[in-house]
Structure 1
Amino acid sequence: MSNSKKNPIKIVHVTTDLAAHGAQMVLYRLLSRLNRDCYESVVISLMEGGQLLEEIESLGVSVYTIGIKNGIPTPAQTYLLIKTLSQLEADLIQGWMYHGNLAAQVSNFFVSRNIPVVLNIHNCLYSLEYEKKMTGYVIQLSAFLSRWATAIIFVSEISKHQHEQLGYLPPNTIVIPNGIDTCQFVPSQKARSAIRTELGLSNHSLLIGLIARFHPMKDHETFLKAASLLLEQIPGLDIHFVLAGKGVNWENTYLSKSITQLNLTKRTHLLGERNDIPSLNAALDIASLSSYSEAFPNVIAEAMCCGIPCVATDVGDSAYLINQTGYLVPPRNPLALANAWKEVIDLGQEGRIALGNLARDRIIHKFSLDHFIVQYDTFYQTILSKN
């Protein structure tokens, strides 16, 4: 990595929040691996707190919070954001997620220096109807303003095409798929045994997992209906379904009611938000995705890196990611999902291990964190050389 400047390049990242979700985890991985001799990173979070705040600060990265609630800033909070950006004297401002992107775009108009602004989009956009009304307004306004942005980083080709159709047309666009830490996400027999012991299950129990926060787009309903159908197809097999993520717990009345109605209570484990995702992934026999909208599904890439065969809905870049190492099904089709699970089960343990090895090899060679960092470094140097 090269840097012709005497001082490190200062990049200020403006993010909606610091919850431990997909885009925020990508930001954390980027911050943890960028060359400190070349780059000085600073984070501005529009909302307070978040699981990743202390972890990012432990990297030696300064974090500023604006304190916005309910998605709408007060005049005082808007002034604080602009003032903070002005004082930081960034060489480049990078937005993260729709609200962070818009905040970066608008506030930069009021900063005295002409600073390059890069937007970072982690969503696919099949329809604005899938978004909250306020988020829809943010997306459309950001699309209009994107002509004044320097560049946009997309995580998938499908996302890039969808947003360009909506009017996201800055001078430069690039697709950089998310990078996976191949040393953190690894196959582990120890994790397999430990998770089963935690759940009170036999080492021979077969686990099918869905790691996703509770959100309509993640379509937990389809996953649960598929689970019920699978048990009807092979009732004698010791199969259990493991779900984890924010809001995925027994206090969630929608989930608990659905599980009870489908007679899945004894076979389903709701684990809530976890901080041991690598171990949880490595414990699965099949990792699954039931979403009807995604861009680049991190959870599938992480499971693949753990050597776990995956069954995913054919949304976003799932097909490109999985390639020949797993199975794709149409979204909102519980029967197709159940049938694909059964095909993986029918492979037997040796067949699943072989498929999982292919999946891990694909992540190592195409989607490693090292490759991801090189792409970001090259992008930053190219953009800054033009300004």
Structure 2
Amino acid sequence: MRVLLVITGLGVGGAERQVCDLADGLNSLGHEVRLLYLTGTAVVWPASSEVAVEGLGMGKNPLSFWGAIRAFKRHIESFRPDVVHSHMYHANILVRLARLTCSMPRLISTAHNTSEGGRLRSFLYRVTDSLADLSTNVSDEAVEAFVENGAVPKGRMIVVYNGIDLSRFHCVAPERQVPAGDEFVLLAVGRLHPQKDYPNLLRAFSMLPRTYEGRGLRLDIVGEGAERNRLEALARELGIESRVHFLGVRSDVPDLLNQADLFVLSSAWEGFGLVVAEAMACERRVVATDCGGVSEVLGGNGVLVPPSDHKALADGILKALAMPPDETVRMGCAARAHIESTFSLDVILSRWTEIYSSGAN
């Protein structure tokens, strides 16, 4: 089967990593895969060199949108895909509009969040909905949000969860399920963007004691973005700058997860919460805000707190830190089992290939 994957960009993010993992997984199953991205510079790539990757050069000029459509149509003509699978708002709309002038045997549009913009984007999703054979999103909560926002008619969008590559994310040091060393390490991963609500996390961290059970508390934040200067200034204002480390973009997130005692997600909204599932696959304790599909991902194997409430987040962190060692190990094992059965990449690849080949919905 020839599968053409199309995404808005290949910057650092959960959706981008997920599409690259999907490309690699499909390739490993013997499918011929090509991956197109509309705009920007590719930062994440599929691991397999057999997956052809090409940018369409779309910029902010509206004329470049139509240039990207022409470039996309050339790929349709040369590759002749059996399935076109688009991801994220701009790619979804572009590919749907392109279908007005070129033939695609099957078109699937995937959103990756509870919201991909305001009213205009919801309107454009709605009026182009019939151009896709099937729309999907990454959690029940995200599907419900799209219906409520008028972006998709009820019954036209289904859930297909994100998949976790369990060969990359696993517990390599079981003893780290129980704190060791001089510090408790709290880890957060995600771009420095308002969605991730890092001010909420920094304010929560400032409410915690400097030491807990004789060990220091340290917060490591992995990610980059336009909010960095503001967040560093807030850390200084709160007097926690010496205990908060902004690590930037890292390629060793699985290792960092295994070195952490606790993973924290402070987001204001999420579609799925991919990094939560990755932390669970590494058997880490998780404290997360109850937004979007995060509760579906946790499945009761972690501490949920309300979003945008730094006191509740601080209390949740203290609750997780206070877990007895046997409870910490038990929850880590249960979290891993939950990911294996529901969110492993193999499980999700099987679902996608079923949809691609049979039109199942």
Normalising by structure 2, report the TM-score.
Answer: 0.91
TM-aligned CA deviation for residue 35 of structure 1: 5.5
Q: 2:105 aligns with which of 96, 110, 115?
A: 115
1:247 paired with 2:225, answer yes
In the other structure, the counterpart of 1:161 is 144
8 A Cα contact 1:309 1:356, kept in partner? yes
Q: 1:46 aligns with which of 38, 44, 48?
A: 38
TM-aligned CA deviation for residue 116 of structure 1: 2.0
1:230 paired with 2:214, answer no
TM-aligned CA deviation for residue 261 of structure 1: 0.5
TM-aligned CA deviation for residue 227 of structure 1: 0.1
In the other structure, the counterpart of 1:257 is 233
The count of corresponding residues between Structure 1 and Structure 2 is 358
TM-aligned CA deviation for residue 70 of structure 1: 3.2
Cα offsets for 1:10-45 (capped at 9, x unmatched): 221111011231111111111111266652211111
In the other structure, the counterpart of 1:6 is none
After superposition, where does 1:184-195 map in structure 2 within 5 Å?
184-189=168-173
Normalising by structure 1, report the TM-score.
Answer: 0.85
Distance 2:93 2:61 in 1: 12
Cα offsets for 1:264-291 (capped at 9, x unmatched): 1111111001101111111111111111
> Residues 191 and 91 of structure 1: is their aligned pair in 2 closer, same or farther, counting only changes over 3 Å?
farther
> Residues 41 and 153 of structure 1: is their aligned pair in 2 closer, same or farther, counting only changes over 3 Å?
same
> Residues 329 and 304 of structure 1: is their aligned pair in 2 closer, same or farther, counting only changes over 3 Å?
same
Give secondary structure in 2 for the equivalent of 1:186: coil
TM-aligned CA deviation for residue 363 of structure 1: 0.9
1:377 paired with 2:361, answer no
Q: 2:93 aligns with which of 99, 102, 108?
A: 102
Distance 1:262 1:37 in 2: 51
Give secondary structure in 2 for the equivalent of 1:86: helix
Distance 1:342 1:276 in 2: 27
8 A Cα contact 1:147 1:171, kept in partner? no
In the other structure, the counterpart of 1:335 is 311
Aligned-pair identity (%): 25
CA RMSD of aligned residues (A): 2.7
Structure 1 letter corresponding to 2:131: W
Q: 2:73 aligns with which of 52, 66, 82?
A: 82
5+ residue gaps in structure 1?
1-8, 197-201
8 A Cα contact 2:24 2:51, kept in partner? no
In the other structure, the counterpart of 1:4 is none
TM-aligned CA deviation for residue 48 of structure 1: 4.0
In the other structure, the counterpart of 2:199 is 221
| Deviates further, 15-24 or 272-281 | 15-24
Structure 1 letter corresponding to 2:306: P
Distance 2:106 2:247 in 1: 42
1:307 paired with 2:283, answer yes
Q: 1:64 aligns with which of 54, 65, 71?
A: 54
8 A Cα contact 1:47 1:66, kept in partner? yes
8 A Cα contact 2:11 2:40, kept in partner? no
1:269 paired with 2:245, answer yes
Structure 2 letter corresponding to 1:59: S
> Residues 62 and 349 of structure 1: is their aligned pair in 2 closer, same or farther, counting only changes over 3 Å?
same
Structure 1 letter corresponding to 2:354: T
8 A Cα contact 1:158 1:295, kept in partner? yes
Structure 2 letter corresponding to 1:82: K
In the other structure, the counterpart of 1:208 is 186
8 A Cα contact 2:83 2:104, kept in partner? no
TM-aligned CA deviation for residue 78 of structure 1: 3.5
TM-aligned CA deviation for residue 224 of structure 1: 0.3
Cα offsets for 1:178-225 (capped at 9, x unmatched): 111222111133996xxx9xxxxx823101111010110100000000
1:179 paired with 2:163, answer yes
In the other structure, the counterpart of 1:151 is 134
Give secondary structure in 2 for the equivalent of 1:231: coil
Distance 1:143 1:245 in 2: 33
Distance 2:278 2:40 in 1: 28
